[in-house]
Amino acid sequence: MMEWLLGFSTLIAALYLLSRHFVSHESSTESPPAVPYLIPWLGSTLQFARDPVSFLERCRRRYGRIYRIVVAGSEIVVVADAASIAELERDVTKSLDKVDLVARAVRVVTGINIEGDQAVYEVMKNKIFPRIAKAFSQTAMTSHFLKEVDRELVAQLVKMGSSAPSTILNLLDVTARPLYCSTCIALFGPTFPYEDTYYDFKLLDSNFNQLNTGIPFVALNAVRARKHIFRSTVRFISSWWDGEGTQYIPGISELGLEWLQELKTHGLSKTQASTVLIFVLWGSQTNIWEMSFWLLHHLASDLSSQEKLREEANKFNERRGESDIDTSLTPLLNSAMTETLRWVSKTGIVRRVIKDMRVMVENQVVHISKESILYADVGAVHSDPTIYPHPDQFDINRFLSWDNSQHGAQPAPMAWGGGAHFVS
């Protein structure tokens, strides 16, 4: 037994020394610093898969605003500098792969690759997305659909409170679960498997960062959850779909039925239609879950802001019946939402390097090798004290009293935010 332990310890030590040797010999003076790891190929897979945001934050503090990690045999170059990320997004040298952000997000959320699938892409872009934009626009605040969401949301909250009046509830479940259930019921009716898929959606959403890299063997639980959501959605639409649209779906909204009819009319299969519906459902939930959680979390200890927001809400509700709602009536709410967006947006921009390139980071030219995965760490930018003073403090007034003369032009949370995710 002792011989076996000694042999195993020797092997681990040898692998560690080999990994350090491999990292140091692969580096050049222009290359980003490499985060050491113990086992080749595995690298930092476990730390990244467990909690990518915290892991990347620790790496940034130790290695700076650009560094390399190895995840499941792939080298990821992480950039955490706002100016450098902006330069990379422009990609003047054409060193990065072309990415269709919608197609990539659909792949992450559903597991289905729609790049090259013109039928799905066109119906989403030209038929479904415009209807979504109209349904959730400011002028639709008093629409029947959003009233149904409100009604179901209240019903879900009452149900949760009455079923466990003396139980300590998880705040994320108090915000996310009622939102998910009420949206599903308002869109697709009570026969949609919302109870059966909530925790799958929660797991999928919380692993968006890991799935976004496209690296195999990362976030396997989320992959299984994604498959379960997909199978459940296919089963939900099967009777209506196979019945040529004549089968009644109890409680489905006019909007939900219009989506199904558009998908059917344009010749999509059940699999393709389910892909679109799941992506739309995810898009209606992401951002809102964590934003609701963190805003409520911070407001719970800020009674003054609670009262001010209540006063704004009352003024807003007085004018809800007007066709043109004046958002200047809610300056504190606007600031609170933007600050919450900054607080929760973590998902990075992921691109593949198709030819060797150089990028300027903090006045230093850094070489990035072909075939690397480039990960722009948006979360680090939102925590940058040179952009947002005291970034670790939640300041509900931050965007209400921004001093341009002191801080420069007011920044906005970057696109491709995350856990909240797509932020534009």
Q: Which amino acid is at 119?
A: A
Give Cα separations from 315 to 154, 204, 212, 300, 326 (angstroms).
Answer: 21, 38, 41, 22, 10
How do residues 135-188 score in pLDDT, each as one tens digit? 777 666 566 777 888 889 989 888 877 765 556 778 888 889 999 999 999 999
- Grade residue 406 by pLDDT with cuts at 50, 70 and 90: low
pLDDT of residue 22: 46
Three-state DSSP class for 68?
strand
pTM of the model: 0.84
CA 289 to chain centre: 10
How far is the C-alpha of 135 from the C-alpha of 259, rounded, in Å?
Answer: 12
User: Residues of the chain with pLDDT > 90: what percent?
Assistant: 54
Whether the pLDDT of residue 266 is over 80: the answer is: yes
Pick 415 or 184 by higher pLDDT. Answer: 184
Q: Which letter does DSSP use for residue 414 in this model?
A: P
User: Residues of the chain with pLDDT > 70: what percent?
Assistant: 83
Give Cα separations from 271 to 126, 200, 233, 253, 265 (angstroms).
Answer: 19, 19, 9, 21, 15
For the chain, domain boundaries: 2-97+353-376, 117-286
- Tokens representing 408 are 């420069």
For range 279-289, the mean pLDDT? 88
370 CB neighbour count, 10 Å cutoff: 11
How do residues 39-85 score in pLDDT, each as one tens digit? 999 999 999 999 999 999 999 999 999 999 999 999 999 999 998 99
Q: Which helix (H) or strand (E) holds 364?
A: strand 364-368
State phi, psi for 348 to the nearest 5 degrees: -95, 160
183 contacts: CB under 8 Å, gap ≥ 6 = 149, 152, 281, 284, 285
pLDDT of residue 235: 96
Residues 361/65, Cβ–Cβ less than 8 Å: yes
How do residues 95-143 score in pLDDT, each as one tens digit? 999 888 888 899 999 999 988 888 898 899 899 988 888 877 766 656 6
- Grade residue 352 by pLDDT with cuts at 50, 70 and 90: very high
State phi, psi for 400 to the nearest 5 degrees: -90, -35
DSSP 263-318: HHHTT--HHHHHHHHHHHHHHHHTTHHHHHHHHHHHHTT-HHHHHHHHHHHHHHHH
Average pLDDT, the chain: 84
Nearest Cα neighbor of 324 from 105, 165, 156, 137 is 137
Q: Give the total residue count for the chain.
A: 424
Residues 284/159, Cβ–Cβ less than 8 Å: no
